[in-house]
A and B are shown apart, each in its own frame.
Chain A
Amino acid sequence: MHQLIALSLVILALPMVSFLIIIFNQKRLNHSAHRIGIPILGAALALAIYICIAKLSGIPETLNWTTNWISFGNVTGIGLLNITTGVMIDNLTAIMLVVVTLISFLVHLFSSAYMHDDVRYARYFAYLGIFTFSMLGIVLGNNLFAIYIFWELVGFSSYALISHWYEKPGPQNASKKAFIVNRVGDVGMWTGLMIMFSRFHTFDFAKIFSAIHNGLPANFGLFGMTPETTLTVAGVLIFCGAIGKSAQFPLHVWLPDAMEGPTPVSALIHAATMVAAGVYLTCRIFPILTGDAMLVVALVGGFTSFLAASIALTQNDIKKVLAYSTVSQLGYMIMALGVGAFSAGFFHLTTHAMFKACLFLGSGSVIHAMHHSLHHLHDHHTDAQDMRNMGGLFKKLPITGTTFIVATLAISGIPLMSGFMSKDEILAGATAYSQLQGGIASVLPYFGFGVAMMTAFYMWRQVFMTFFGKPRKPEIFEHIHESPRVMTIPLIILATLSIWIWYGANPIDPANGWFMKKWAATPAQVVPQNTAPKFVEHSASEVKAPEAEHTALSSEHTALMEHQEILEHKTHEVAATGMLISIIVAITGIALAWFMYLKNTTLAGKLATTFKPLYNFSLNKWYIDELYDFVFVGSFLLISRGCAWFDSNIVDGIVNGAGKLTILLANVAGWIDKYIVDGLVNLVAGVTQVIGLAFRSVQTGKIQTYLGWTLFGILVIFAVLAWGFKVI
């Protein structure tokens, strides 16, 4: 076992240890639970940073450690069947380890102040531990099955954390919704897993990849589909898991509701753990996605990003805006993976984790301050999360405000920020892909740039509404105070990590920065040549000379790599234009927000009344919840009512009929019992009583007398047996 593997297992175990310690000592620890959680997560973070540095600087190859997990022995028709599990550390894993432990550590830190007065303080920290543990399991797993197990654990722990305040109906329903909606995606994922397992008898990534690379077996097809189509279907099915976890359309509905949980938990869910899991899974299965599957992925991602951004435009709840922005950004990542811009997608996952965690914790800090102020005023009705109650808070919350603005700059794609780099690469990739692919994929850049503008708009709308302008509720404003240092330090760290320098030297050339160039290189796809994206053939002529020569050599491997190289080349071509457009749209969005929410504050209201239908459509989240309610819940209720009617009238009718018949028979039997059977029994009892009365005087109660007479009886029997018969 490689040293780093062993260390990674230690990292995996640490949050679990924290969970176990806290959950079994809840009463004893109570409000000092963070003293267990924070040091343990700090240790995990230190180890993760060590692994990350060691892996990225010194070890180019993927570390893989496999152990036998379940051994089925010789299975008929398959041969020796072993299910293995293990740990794989490649660059993705190394980076994700740091991201997960860092965000988790900062959330622990932040929570120790934010949740300070909570009654279930210890339980909260315990579940933070198991949440981190599950996510680390997903990150480290080297096979689909292990990932699936931790996948469900993530689902469970998010359920437990979202419903942290389970006294209220909101968190209850939100947690149930999150759990059930995720199940829908997981069914797809499990089906995909089983397709893979039934064909390759392994869950191991490396083995599946090499098996597919060696050519699909002839029996790979399912239900009469060709092997290639089956591979597409399997890829899309596994991606369904990511749709659920990463809140992609149509399963995005749970994520905004998950805002009912404590704000630090939202930060954890949105930045590092839960939603990142979906993107991470898509990264993992990237090599086996066929061209068609990738198109599906790209379209799902693109549409989701557009949908969520349009909803975020009109939300008033500070956390709801962030929630929809998360959905939108996740759509970006998924779209990037779908168009083949693998490193851009993963890059955005990392940068987004930093600035989104910063935004969420920042909003937590604002809410914290608002709560304290409201508490001071004894006001329990005003919504502490509604931006319409805020305004001008920058003066009171300088640190929170500054970090929030830094993160907002990053998310809206302003140069010198990490978000600019990653988003720009995604947009370039999407543009290149749409040009090469044509057809329905041409909408992707429109989605991309449109979303970029909307993102800039709604994020700055939020900043302006929260931190600038005149205080809308002066009395609340009066009592706002900056949060304590344990809350602001995580904000400062995360804001610092939102600056470009960590990811590449040149802020306007991310493709050549070390993150994309060295750390997150696109893995080779293993799918058969004929299932690779369509543009391989017809765009080969467009490719410039060096690539053309390269493809002319056309060994099998280079052929497989071909479309990726074409894409990369095209991406380089469009990068400059894309960057220009993205800067322009971002600045336009900011300017619009500034104009509508600071300069001319009445304009927003006017626009809302002018475009009332559109406004309501966005405000009500495209009525998707209502649609689901009507279609799924409604139809289910209809079927249930039908069943209930059948049950109460027909089934119960039969049962009641049988019951009445039984009563009738029972009455007859009862009469017989009472007068005939009981009569006999009473007769016997009566006779016994008479005899008993006669023999009563023999009963002295002395045990020895009884014994004596018993013996006497035995002797008599013996005597009779020995002599009696002879005498007779």
Chain B
Amino acid sequence: MFDLIFYIFMLTTIGGAVITAFHRNIVYAAFGLLFTFSGVVGLYVMANADFLAVTQLLVYVGGILILLIFGVMLTNRLASVNITVAGGGSRWFAALLSLGVLIILCFAFFGSESSHTIKTPDGKTKTISTWASYQSEPWAHSPWNKDANERILSQKYGTAAEVKAGEGSNGTANEIGILFLTDYLLPFEVVSVVLLVALVGATMIARQDPTPEEDMASDALRATN
């Protein structure tokens, strides 16, 4: 049952993405994107990332997608033509490249050895699966991530393993909130500044440059004040 639901979500995601990438009508493409985003939400839920799922729903479906549709409406005269997107001459080139990317990715995931050997601290060698080795990768212990899981989880629920055993019963919002104000405080602050700057910048860029007449009018207005 779980698998079935997963495949449904996966299908929604990929199907939506295909529509987005291939449909000639830009409005249909936007709706395809809607399916993709919703499907991804499902995938998140299946992976116990409930907070993220909600965020995805709010930000992507509620925000970015609407923004894109606004963009469509602002830049296309819907009443007239030119709403479709004709395929360009570089389509084959694009298809080739994206296929290449897909192959590279699949190769990176599955093509290499399915297991490899690592040295344990006591000097013995041990063969583990590729997936398991992710935990021993350096980036798993980056400054931001270092001990964070163990500490947060052990505080609340016990060891990481216990949490894994009982996961799904508790939301992740709590841990994420704590992490935001502890280990991820700096990125959190930086990203808020980035958002603010983006907001101001977007306003600046999209602003109508006053035409000369308007310029004069605003000057006159200033003079009266």
Contacts and interface: CB of A to CB of B under 8 A. Distances in A.
A692 interface: no
Contact of B90 (A708, A718, A719): A708
A27 to B, nearest CB: 15
Interface in A687-711: 704-705, 708, 711
B100 A715 contact: yes
Contacts of B94: 708
A722 interface: yes
A676 to B, nearest CB: 42
Interface in B107-164: 107-108, 111
A705 B90 contact: yes
A166 interface: no
B58 interface: no
A718 B100 CA distance: 10
Interface string B187-221: 00000000000000000000000000000000000
A220 B94 CA distance: 94
A552 B100 CA distance: 120
B101 A711 contact: yes
A708 B94 CA distance: 7
Contacts of B93: 708
B104 interface: yes
B90 A704 contact: yes
B97 interface: yes
Contact of A712 (B97, B108, B111): B97
B97 A708 contact: yes
A711 B101 CA distance: 8
Contacts of A708: 90, 93-94, 97
Interface residues of B, number: 10
B106 to A, nearest CB: 12
Contacts of B108: 718
B90 A715 contact: no
B114 to A, nearest CB: 16
A718 B104 contact: yes
Nearest to B105: A718
Interface string B88-104: 00100110010011001
Given A704-B90, A705-B90, A715 B107 contact: no
Contacts of B104: 715, 718-719, 722
A708 B90 CA distance: 9
B109 to A, nearest CB: 12
A722 B111 CA distance: 10
Contacts of B97: 708, 711-712, 715
Nearest to B103: A715
A712 B93 CA distance: 10
A712 B111 CA distance: 20
Nearest to A704: B90
A719 B111 CA distance: 13
A705 B97 CA distance: 12
A715 B107 CA distance: 12
In this complex, the interface size class of chain A, counting residues with CB under 8 Å from chain B, is under 10
A711 B93 CA distance: 11
Contacts of A711: 97, 100-101
A710 to B, nearest CB: 10
A716 to B, nearest CB: 9
Nearest to A717: B104
Nearest to A722: B107
A359 B97 CA distance: 102
A709 to B, nearest CB: 9
A726 to B, nearest CB: 12
A704 B97 CA distance: 12
A330 to B, nearest CB: 53
A708 B91 CA distance: 11
Nearest to B94: A708
From B94, B101, B104, B111, residue with most partner A Cβ within 10 Å = B104
Contacts of A712: 97, 100
A715 B99 CA distance: 11
Nearest to A705: B90
Contacts of B111: 722
A711 B97 CA distance: 7
Contacts of B90: 704-705, 708
A593 B140 CA distance: 106
Nearest to B98: A711
A557 B104 CA distance: 105
A102 B94 CA distance: 93
A547 to B, nearest CB: 80
Contacts of B101: 711, 715
A718 B93 CA distance: 18
Contacts of A705: 90
Interface string A512-529: 000000000000000000
B104 to A, nearest CB: 5
Nearest to B112: A722
A722 B105 CA distance: 11
Contacts of A722: 104, 107, 111
A705 B101 CA distance: 16
Interface string B40-58: 0000000000000000000
A711 B105 CA distance: 13
Interface in A657-712: 704-705, 708, 711-712
A718 B112 CA distance: 13
A708 B100 CA distance: 12
A157 B36 CA distance: 74
A719 B107 CA distance: 10
Contacts of B107: 722
B100 to A, nearest CB: 5
A719 B105 CA distance: 11
A704 B89 CA distance: 12
A708 B92 CA distance: 11
A722 B101 CA distance: 13
A722 B110 CA distance: 13
Nearest to B111: A722
B15 to A, nearest CB: 24
Interface string A38-73: 000000000000000000000000000000000000
A137 to B, nearest CB: 40
Contacts of A704: 90
Name which of B100, B107, B111 has the most chain A CB atoms within 10 A of its CB: B100
Nearest to B88: A704
A708 B98 CA distance: 9
A24 B100 CA distance: 72
B122 to A, nearest CB: 32
* B93, B97, B107: most-surrounded residue (chain A CB, <10 A): B97
A455 to B, nearest CB: 60
Nearest to A723: B107
A701 to B, nearest CB: 14
A310 to B, nearest CB: 62
Contacts of A719: 104
Nearest to B104: A718
A415 to B, nearest CB: 67
A707 to B, nearest CB: 9
Nearest to B100: A715
A719 B108 CA distance: 11
Contacts of A718: 104, 108
A712 B104 CA distance: 12
B93 to A, nearest CB: 6
B163 to A, nearest CB: 36
B33 to A, nearest CB: 19
B112 to A, nearest CB: 8
A698 to B, nearest CB: 15
Interface in B17-44: none
A711 B111 CA distance: 21
Given A711-B97, A718-B108, 6 more contacts: A704-B90, A705-B90, A708-B90, A708-B97, A712-B97, A722-B104
Q: Which 10 A-B pairs have the closest CB atoms?
A: A715-B100, A718-B104, A711-B97, A708-B97, A708-B93, A715-B104, A712-B97, A722-B107, A704-B90, A708-B94
6 contacts: A708-B93, A712-B100, A715-B101, A715-B104, A718-B104, A722-B111
Interface of B: 90, 93-94, 97, 100-101, 104, 107-108, 111
